[in-house]
Structure 1
Amino acid sequence: MNAIKIAAIVLIIAGGLGLAYGGFSYTAESRQANIGPIELTMNERHWFSIPVWAGMAAITMGVLLLAVPRKN
């Protein structure tokens, strides 16, 4: 397999996951207060949504990379 086919497969998989899950969440820790030996922290959960058009564009680009013949 060459690099273009691998990139195409990765794009198709990433686009499919983006459409299936719609985004991902992550936790960010922030320091709120530091009073002597006591440290107060807060965990914030953030959601990053992936637009439908981005998932569809990734799938389309992956399919095009696989379908378009290349000159060797």
Structure 2
Amino acid sequence: MKTNTLIAIVLIAIGILALAYQGITYTTQEKVVDLGPIQMTAEKQKTFPLPPVVGIATLVGGIVLLVLGKKNG
């Protein structure tokens, strides 16, 4: 398999995932109370939003790369 074809398939997969999830959620631990030996932490979920334009651009880029790879190969 050519490198361009592999990259195109990966871009298409990432584009589909970006459109499906529309954001990356991750969990962080933050200190709530810090009084000497007593420490309390809380887990907070944060979301890094991915606009649909990112997913569409990645998907289209992968398709274009795949089509151009087939024409040249």
TM exceeding 0.5: yes
User: Match of 1:11?
Assistant: 11
The Cα of 1:33 is off from its aligned counterpart by 3.2
Name whichever of 54-63 and 33-42 sits farther off. 33-42
Could you say what the CA RMSD is over the residues aligned between the two structures, in angstroms? 1.5
TM-score by length of 1: 0.85
Partner of 1:67: 67
Aligned residues: 71
Tell me the equivalent position of 1:27: 27
When you count helix as a share of all residues, which structure comes out higher? 2
TM-score, normalised by the number of residues in structure 2: 0.84
Offset at 1:34?
A: 2.4
Distance in 1 (alpha carbons) for counterparts of 2:23 and 2:35: 37
- The farther-off stretch of 24-33 and 50-59 is 24-33
Deviations, residues 19-68 of structure 1 (Å, cap 9, x unaligned): 11111211111223322221111212101111111101001000011101
Q: Which runs of 5+ in 2 are unaligned?
A: none
Query: Quick one: percent identity of the two aligned structures?
Result: 35
